[in-house]
Amino acid sequence: MCWSPSADAVAGGVIGALGVVTLVGARRGRDRVLGVLPLVLGAHQLVESVVWLDTQGRVSAGVGRAAVTAWAVIAFVVLPTLVPLGVLVSAWPRVRARWRLAALLAVGAAVSVSLGWDVAAHGVTATAHGHVLDYGLGINASGLLIAGYLVATLGAPLSSPDRFIRCFGIAAFVGAVGCTVAWRVEFASTWCAYAAVLSVILLVWVRRPDAEGSSGLAGRRPADAHAG
């Protein structure tokens, strides 16, 4: 989220461009699952620029509803599953990490299904408060759902055997805390800046030298290779 429609549009374009470069430049095919995240985040920002325009009465009601719904689908349905799935696929040869990450993917998928049902059944609203947008489901998400969302989207990268992905998870955690504080005090929506930082981290990760020419067994620890 950004603080204005123009800021969201610019951020979406920049982050989306980083996403294209990330996908094209990935040295391992399996890294592209998580590598698609910047492209998704860029699209998310572009959609939100339309949501901003809707709150200002500058687009038709139908376009505004479609934008709010699309924003909610990406945030509440796509991300809880995409993030742990991407981390799992990138770490697949490592047997011990595989099962741990598969459990986090199951949590994310359950959250996606539950929140997706809420979006479809009750709809989503978006209200502007100064420089922030407040999104609301038709029902209040339970603490269990919120916890599951955080466990899936932050817990998966933090649990990755890949040091780079763990750094990504730390950056995402710090960004989430900072953005939440800024949003709570209605200062400004700052997630777009953190999304750009996360996208750069992923771009560096997919192009890391040790990923070039990696086989399905690359990077396995002796204990993991024995377990496989």
- Supply 205's token pair: 């990760």
Identify the pLDDT of residue 223. 44
- Supply 44's token pair: 């998310």
Neighbouring CB atoms inside 10 A of 227's CB total: 12
Q: Is residue 219 part of a domain?
A: no
Cβ proximity of 73 and 65 under 8 Å:
no
Distance CA 104, CA 160 (A): 11
Q: Is residue 152 part of a domain?
A: yes
Identify the pLDDT of residue 211. 72
214: Cβ–Cβ under 8 A, 6 or more apart, which residues?
27, 28
- Supply 33's token pair: 């699952």
Neighbouring CB atoms inside 10 A of 140's CB total: 10
Question: Helix 79-90 and helix 95-122: axis angle, to 10°?
Answer: 170
The CATH number linked to 155 is 1.20.1070
Q: Is residue 165 part of a domain?
A: yes
pTM for this predicted structure: 0.87
Q: Is residue 227 part of a domain?
A: no
- Please list the alpha-helical segments (H only) found in 56-162: 61-72, 79-90, 95-122, 143-150, 156-158
Instruction: Give the residue numbers spanning the domain of 38.
Output: 5-211
Q: Is residue 218 part of a domain?
A: no
Domain count for the chain: 1
Neighbouring CB atoms inside 10 A of 57's CB total: 9
Q: Is residue 34 part of a domain?
A: yes
- Supply 106's token pair: 């199951």
Identify the pLDDT of residue 220. 45
Q: Is residue 221 part of a domain?
A: no
Mean pLDDT by 10 residues, the chain (228 residues): 85 95 94 96 95 95 96 95 96 83 97 94 88 79 87 95 94 82 54 85 92 47 42
Q: Is residue 61 part of a domain?
A: yes
140: Cβ–Cβ under 8 A, 6 or more apart, which residues?
none
Identify the pLDDT of residue 32. 96
